[in-house]
Amino acid sequence: MIIYIDENMSPFLAEGFNVLQEPLNLKLKESIEVRSIKQEFGQGAKDEDWIPLAGKQNSCVITQDYNINRIRHQRELCEEYNLGMFYFRPPSKSGFTYMDMLKLMVKHWEEITKKATREKRPFSYKVTQKGSLEELK
């Protein structure tokens, strides 16, 4: 399965977590590949374009773009294409710093991968700077 890192986050996170995930894949029935939406679908790809493509690949997405959940037709697209969504809610409109995002992803990576591989899709979770993963209804 694939976990995509949205283009509002560094593609270096996707590369790094893909490398870090490789030895963990040895213990999984289905290995996890971490990719960048920006590198896979192109800079500035519209959410309405990449969501169906990612969904057809049985993927999950990590993003800071909470608007995907708030904008009805985008949320419905995620549901229609059975995406697993992880929304990292930044403390301000400028988003997380690279290091804050890295720390949060490391902190929650094990839980993210468990939910990504075991939970029925579609699903949505949010991660706040100080909190844990919270399911969005």
What's the chain's average pLDDT? 93
Instruction: Give the global pTM.
Output: 0.94
Round to whole Å and give the CA distance between 66 and 57.
Answer: 22
The separation between CA 41 and the C-alpha centre of its own chain, rounded to angstroms, equals: 15
pLDDT confidence bin for 132, thresholds 50/70/90 = confident
Q: CATH code at 86?
A: 3.40.50
Q: Write out the two tokens for 130.
A: 């100080």
Please state whether 49 falls in left (phi above 0), alpha (psi between -120 and 50) or beta.
alpha
Domain that holds residue 38: 2-135
User: What stretches of the chain show up as alpha helix (H) in DSSP?
Assistant: 11-25, 37-41, 47-56, 67-70, 72-80, 98-118
Domain count, the chain: 1
pLDDT digits (tens, 9 = 90+) for 92-122: 777 788 999 999 999 999 999 999 999 999 9
